[in-house]
Amino acid sequence: MSAEERLPSQRRDRPGVAPEFPHCSPVSIEGASLASSLVRSLALDLDAVLVDTGPLWRDWLEDAARRARVSLDDLPEDRAAAAAVLDERLGDWRPLLERFAADRAPLHFRPRADVGKAVRRLQAAGVHVSVFSDAPRELADLAVQHLGIARRVELVERPAAGDEIVESRAQLLGLE
C-alpha cells in the first residue's frame, strides 16, 4: 500500500488498522471487548492503580505543621475530611500544598511505561478513562501530570454510576 492509497487515519506501522476501528483491538475485560457496548467507561483509583500519593501528602502535613507551628497529628485519615480541618487550622493551605508537591513530585511520581501504554490502548479503543482519588485536587492533578497521562484521562472526585472500576495495577495491565 503506497502513501497515496493510505487513508489519513491509518497507522503507518500497521496498514489497514486505524484508531477509528476499535473492533480490531484485542483489548478486553473479562471477555468483553472494549469496543463493545459493555465497556465504554473505566474509572481508575489513582492511589491503588497509578501512584500512591500518600507519602507526599504525609510529608506535606509534617512540613506544614512545622512551618505553621500547629499540631496536625489528629487529622482524619480520610483526606476529604482532613481538608475541612485544614481549612480551619491553616486557612488557605491549598497553594502551599501545590507548591510543596510541585517541588517534590519528581521524587514521588515516576511515569510507568506499562501504565501509559495501557491507558493509550484504552483511549484508542474508544473507552472513556477517568481517575478518582480522595487526595486534594491539587495533588491529584500534579500526580496525573507527572505520570504523563493528563491528556488521556479525566480527573473526577468519584466514579460515575456506569463506570467499570479498576482497583489495581494488575487489573489495568490485564486489560490487554
pLDDT band with cut points at 50, 70 and 90 for residue 15: low
Closest CA to 142 of 113, 97, 102: 102
Give the model's pLDDT for residue 32: 46
In tens, the pLDDT along 18-46 reads 555 444 444 544 544 444 445 688 999 99
In tens, the pLDDT along 44-96 reads 999 999 999 999 999 999 999 999 898 888 889 889 889 999 999 888 899 99
Distance CA 33, CA 38 (A): 8
Average pLDDT, the chain: 82
Distance CA 28, CA 170 (A): 14
Determine the residue type at 70.
Answer: V
Residue 156 pLDDT > 80 = yes
Q: Which of 93-97, 120-124, 130-134, 158-162 has the lowest mean pLDDT?
A: 158-162
Q: Calculate the dihedral angle through the C-alpha atoms of 145, 43, 168, 35, rounding to the nearest 10 degrees.
A: -110
Q: Which three cell numbers stand for residue 18?
A: 486505524
Which secondary structure element, helix H or strand E, spans residue 114, and what is its range? helix 113-124
Cα→Cα distances 102→50, 98, 99, 106, Å: 18, 6, 5, 8
- Using DSSP's 3-state secondary structure scheme, residue 90 falls into helix
Which secondary structure element, helix H or strand E, spans residue 26, and what is its range? none
